[in-house]
């Protein structure tokens, strides 16, 4: 019986590739979700705008995420936690 809460196996890694040797600079949602190691594309999309950046709309291509922007978002997650910990040590 389906509850609607299953984690869907959505092409991770994308298009049956084992893992790209080099990640593309522009990524579709499936590729971006795999890049940041989210459990599913849905989980990735729910985190866009908070944890991850919103996509850029490219005419004729649809939504795309820039690899550099994803890297910056991940770096902010760890940099802010380290900064808080460093400041706490000064007090």
pTM of the model: 0.67
Total domain count, the chain: 1
- Whether 28 is in a domain gets the answer yes
Provide the 3-class DSSP secondary structure of residue 2. coil
Q: What pLDDT is stored for residue 16 in this prediction? A: 57
SS3 59: coil
Asked if the structure places residue 4 within a domain, the reply is no
DSSP symbol at 16: G
- Cβ neighbors of 90 (< 8 A, separation 6 or more) are none
pLDDT digit string, tens, across residues 11-70: 455 555 566 578 999 999 999 999 999 999 999 999 999 999 999 999 999 999 999 999
Q: What is the pLDDT of residue 40?
A: 96
- Answer whether residue 61 is part of any domain: yes
Q: Return d(Cα 42, Cα 36) in angstroms, integer.
A: 13
| 6 is a domain residue | no
Q: Is residue 70 part of a domain?
A: yes
Residue 18 lies in a domain: yes
Domain, as residue range, for 77: 14-90
Question: For tokens 């866009």, what's the residue?
Answer: 48
60: in domain: yes
């Amino acid at each position: 019986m389906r509850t609607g809460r299953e984690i869907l196996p959505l092409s991770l890694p994308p298009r049956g590739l084992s893992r790209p040797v080099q990640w593309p600079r522009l990524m579709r949602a499936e590729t971006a979700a795999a890049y940041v190691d989210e459990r599913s594309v849905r989980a990735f999309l729910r985190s866009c705008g908070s944890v991850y950046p919103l996509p850029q709309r490219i005419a004729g291509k649809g939504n795309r995420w820039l690899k550099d922007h994803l890297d910056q978002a991940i770096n902010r997650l760890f940099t802010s936690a380290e900064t808080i910990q460093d400041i706490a040590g000064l007090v």
